[in-house]
Amino acid sequence: RKEVEQDPGPFNVPEGATVAFNCTYSNSASQSFFWYRQDCRKEPKLLMSVYSSGNEDGRFTAQLNRASQYISLLIRDSKLSDSATYLCVVNSGYSTLTFGKGTMLLVSP
């Protein structure tokens, strides 16, 4: 089983739609969780951290379910500029991160 698994997509949605991405992780000892965003041919950048209580940043909401080892990202009112690959990331010790392969989102007019 891969350490971090994501649906690769692509998810094709119209502007204004709500879209949700899911991710599962295998290491129950994982401590910290994140979503990174990667634009085409660019480097990954931190989008948001994920907390057990759930957290929101504008149109973005992240949820963590430790019992199910499941992480989600919800994007409301999608914009064209949201088109990117979203990487689910887990920190399992020290400073090291384990990345999922990413889910591609394409938002169309």
Binding residues (CB under 8 A) for another protein: these are 31-32, 42-46, 87, 91, 94-102
Return d(Cα 59, Cα 75) in angstroms, integer: 6
In whole angstroms, the minimum distance from the beta carbon of 70 to another protein comes to: 19
In whole angstroms, the minimum distance from the beta carbon of 99 to another protein comes to: 4
* Residue closer to another protein (CB basis): 26 or 98: 98
Among positive and negative, which fits the CA dihedral 37, 48, 5, 27? positive
* Residue closer to another protein (CB basis): 11 or 33: 33
Return d(Cα 40, Cα 105) in angstroms, integer: 11
* Residue closer to another protein (CB basis): 15 or 39: 39
* Residue closer to another protein (CB basis): 41 or 81: 41
* String of DSSP letters for 3-70: SEEE----EEEETT--EEEEEEES-TT--EEEEEEE-TTS-EEEEEEE-TT-EEETTEEEEEETTTTE
In whole angstroms, the minimum distance from the beta carbon of 26 to another protein comes to: 15
In whole angstroms, the minimum distance from the beta carbon of 18 to another protein comes to: 26
